[in-house]
């Protein structure tokens, strides 16, 4: 199998797995597992931006120890800037890069190199997907492109899952309004009672 075919096959398999997810958390976990498995890497994590604290909050991880995951907060504006600047960041040596917030913890975990890519949906930055390798790794353009593609699919899928949950909630509210004691049937319209949050982008948080 050529590299081109391998990358294409990777994206197809990841997309198929993610398409079966029904919750944002499941989407994140499947994305992390897919990326780690494809690259036979040390681990992979998915983060979402917390706009109130300016931190990247971990939502899913595969292959990393709980001790490393609990190392401390990751600052959105100060550390690796893939989420802030919406651009991929490849770090060959985590012990020789000032952007790494916890280099000693990473070394103890057995991490040598890191690739971080933004998770974007509807032109809004949602978070970041990070791939960790146990051996020093010169990430190629093809490597970065594949991880970016999966991160993009991850973002869109999480968006769709949340919207689906919002619509389901709206339908339940509308069903409840059909109770004869809860509305005047001569004045009721299909749009009354729909939460205003449903019409907003889920990325506006």
Conformational region of residue 116, where left means phi above 0, alpha means psi within -120 to 50, and beta covers everything else: beta
Coil vs helix vs strand at 159: helix
Whether residue 182 is contained in a domain is answered as: yes
Strands 89-91 and 74-75: unpaired
Confidence band of 177 (pLDDT split at 50, 70, 90): low
Least confident of 28-32, 75-79, 169-173: 169-173
Q: Half-sphere exposure of residue 193, counting CA atoms within 13 Å on the CB side? A: 17
Which residues span the domain enclosing 148? 3-160
128 and 52, same domain (yes or no): yes
Q: Total structural domains in the chain?
A: 2
Per-residue pLDDT at 164: 57
User: Does the structure show a pLDDT above 70 at 175?
Assistant: no
User: Does the structure show a pLDDT above 70 at 6?
Assistant: no
115 and 179, same domain (yes or no): no
Residue of 106 and 190 predicted with greater confidence:
106
173 and 72, same domain (yes or no): no
101 and 121, same domain (yes or no): yes
User: Does the structure show a pLDDT above 70 at 44?
Assistant: yes
What is the CATH number for 151? 3.30.450.40
The residues with which 134 forms a beta bridge, in sequence order, are none
Whether residue 205 is contained in a domain is answered as: no
Tens digits of residue pLDDT in 50-65: 888 888 999 999 999 9
Residue of 171 and 101 predicted with greater confidence:
101
């Amino acid at each position: 199998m050529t590299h081109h075919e391998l990358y294409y096959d990777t994206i197809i398999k990841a997309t198929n797995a993610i398409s079966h997810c029904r919750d944002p958390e499941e989407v994140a976990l499947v994305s992390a597992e897919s990326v780690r498995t494809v690259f036979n890497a040390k681990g992979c994590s998915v983060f979402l931006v917390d706009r109130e604290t300016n931190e990247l909050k971990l939502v899913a991880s595969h292959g990393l120890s709980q001790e490393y995951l609990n190392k401390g907060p990751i600052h959105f504006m100060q550390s690796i800037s893939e989420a802030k600047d919406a651009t991929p960041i490849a770090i060959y040596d985590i012990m020789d890069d000032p952007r790494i917030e916890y280099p000693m913890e990473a070394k103890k975990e057995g991490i040598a190199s890191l690739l971080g890519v933004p998770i974007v949906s509807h032109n809004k930055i949602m978070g970041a997907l990070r791939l960790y390798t146990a051996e020093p790794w010169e990430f190629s353009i093809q490597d970065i492109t594949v991880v970016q593609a999966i991160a993009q699919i991850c973002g869109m899928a999480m968006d769709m899952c949340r919207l689906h949950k919002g619509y389901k909630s709206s339908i339940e509210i509308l069903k409840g309004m059909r109770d004869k004691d809860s509305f005047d049937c001569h004045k009721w319209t299909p749009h009354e009672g729909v939460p205003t949050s449903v019409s907003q982008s889920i990325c506006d948080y």
